[in-house]
Amino acid sequence: MNTKTILEYQWPYLVSFLAPTDALEKSAKDLGALKRRRSVDSANTLLRLIFAWAFCGMSLRQTTAWAEAANIATLSNVALLKRLRLASDWLEYLLTLKLAERASPPTGFEGRLRIVDATMISKPGSKGADWRVHLSLDLATSTIDHVELTDFRGGETLNRFSLRSGDVVIADRGYAHLSGLAPIAIGHGDFLVRIPWSSVPLEHHDGKPVDIFSFLRGLPEGEVGEINVRIRNDAKRNLPAVPVRLIAVRKSEAAAADTRMKLIKAASKKRRTPDPRSLEAAAYTFIVTSIPSETISAKRVLDLYRFRWQIEIAFKRLKSLLDLDELPAKDASLTRTFIYTKLLAALLLDDFTQAYVSFSPWGFNLR
């Protein structure tokens, strides 16, 4: 993808997928991104400069030189830096507007299949995780329908995502918490979540604890098993018990061995001995879902969970094609501007590509 070509020759078309010009100007002013117009004459120009820096990966010096050569704006590196620092709230607002466009379901459609996950991003020179991008993907359209940026302390929870009645959320083990699952069930949505063997308190409907290993050991190789249980209530947080189906299948021996090896290596790095129960659980895939068996079979639940990798692919594309994880600065305001611009660019490119594919240059449909 030649991002500079898009910026130079297709910018008016790309920016047309955003708010109208007057709304763009008003939001930039209201959110403090465009306080002075001495060197940057409009919100459109400011956004183009931001995209040159973040989307195209130009340095401050390269951005100002390109802007002057293209007769777009004349400003110093320091002046551009100040404007980039002030733009993060505005970029977040524009990103929210784009996501809101995707919130309305197609006519006659009750809900969505949504895959959620998060990815970590590090500052230059950092050895740990500094930022977390929380993402939701609409499986039907393979488009991003929710984005949230937090620092490393922002944990994975389904409470971050706005859900409608009928939505089905697919998530990995990091989201297996009653605090996130209970509101979905109460709100008439459904979830399909992989769980760890140890941290989700499952019980039978008579209140007796579920012996998950007894259930797993009884599974015939290659066959799917399920039992009806519930996630125990949390009286302290006023969270009700949630009825679920526990669905599991035994992995192939090769897949189980690969998972065990990863657990052993991870424990070795921390100079620990892996829990024998974790090594045993590595031989299975087990999921809880609130979707009733009359609606979907246990095998189909496992098939649906496999689509979770679509969001992994989305993160890889953001990082490989748009360099989402190559932060140019340690400054928090600059980092927020950079990440929001990358994510906004991803949404605009989705619209840009779909419009391009559906466009007929002759003005009529060929049959």
Summarize pLDDT for 195-224 with one digit per residue, the tens. Answer: 999 889 999 999 999 999 999 999 887 789
CA–CA separation, 257 vs 57, rounded Å? 42
For residues 259-286, average pLDDT: 92
Confirm whether 364 is domain-assigned. no
Kindly state the tokens that stand for 346. Answer: 């991803």
DSSP H helices, the chain, are 3-9, 11-15, 21-30, 43-54, 60-69, 77-86, 88-101, 178-186, 212-217, 253-269, 276-281, 298-305, 309-321, 332-358
Confirm whether 126 is domain-assigned. yes
**What does the pLDDT read at residue 305?**
92
Q: Give the DSSP letter of residue 220.
A: P
Q: Which of 26, 156, 167, 32 is nearest to 97 (CA)?
A: 26
- Domain co-membership, 153 together with 224: yes
- Domain co-membership, 296 together with 344: no
**What does the pLDDT read at residue 110?**
56
**What does the pLDDT read at residue 355?**
58
Of 119 and 349, more confident: 119
Confirm whether 125 is domain-assigned. yes
What is the distance, to the nearest Å, from the Cα of residue 72 to the centroid of all Cα atoms in its chain? 34
Confirm whether 30 is domain-assigned. yes
- Domain co-membership, 79 together with 131: no
- Domain co-membership, 37 together with 113: no
Kindly state the tokens that stand for 195. Answer: 């769980």
pLDDT digits (tens, 9 = 90+) for 62-75: 999 999 999 999 99
CA–CA separation, 155 vs 174, rounded Å? 9
Confirm whether 366 is domain-assigned. no
Domain that holds residue 54: 3-96+326-358
Q: Give the DSSP letter of residue 239.
A: B
Residue 82 phi, psi dihedral angles, 5° rounding: -60, -40
Beta-carbon count within 10 A of 89 CB: 17
For residues 257-275, average pLDDT: 91
Q: Which of 190, 116, 114, 126 is nearest to 148 (CA)?
A: 116
Partner residues linked to 61 by β-bridges: none
pLDDT digits (tens, 9 = 90+) for 216-241: 999 887 789 999 999 999 999 999 99
- Domain co-membership, 169 together with 200: yes
| Parallel/antiparallel/unpaired status of strands 168-171 and 113-121 | parallel
CA–CA separation, 357 vs 103, rounded Å? 22
CATH number for position 188: 3.90.350
- Domain co-membership, 38 together with 87: yes
- Domain co-membership, 293 together with 339: no
Confirm whether 87 is domain-assigned. yes
- Domain co-membership, 237 together with 301: yes
**What does the pLDDT read at residue 1?**
54
| Local confidence band at 144 (pLDDT 50, 70, 90 cut-offs) | confident
Amino acid identity for residue 337 in this structure? T
Partner residues linked to 115 by β-bridges: 137, 170
CA–CA separation, 240 vs 257, rounded Å? 37
> How many independent structural domains does the chain possess?
2
pLDDT digits (tens, 9 = 90+) for 18-57: 888 899 999 999 999 998 788 899 999 999 999 999 998 8
DSSP H helices, 76-138, are 77-86, 88-101
Share of the chain above pLDDT 90, in %: 58
318's CB contacts (< 8 A; 6+ apart) are: 324, 342, 343, 346
- Averaged pLDDT of the chain: 87
**What does the pLDDT read at residue 3?**
76
Question: String of b and e for 140-163 (b: at least 16 CB within 10 Å)?
Answer: eeebbbbbbbeeeeeebbbebbeb
- Domain co-membership, 33 together with 163: no
**Helix (H) or strand (E) run with residue 153 in it:** none
Tell whether the model's pLDDT for residue 364 goes beyond 70.
no
Question: Position of tokens 């098993």?
Answer: 225
- Domain co-membership, 234 together with 300: yes
- Domain co-membership, 154 together with 139: yes
Tell whether the model's pLDDT for residue 108 goes beyond 80.
no
| Local confidence band at 109 (pLDDT 50, 70, 90 cut-offs) | very low
- Whether the CB-CB separation of 120 and 131 falls below 8 Å is answered with yes
Confirm whether 321 is domain-assigned. no
**What does the pLDDT read at residue 265?**
93
Residue 142 zone, left/alpha/beta (φ > 0; ψ -120 to 50; rest): left
CA–CA separation, 253 vs 259, rounded Å? 10
For residues 297-325, average pLDDT: 86
- Domain co-membership, 56 together with 120: no
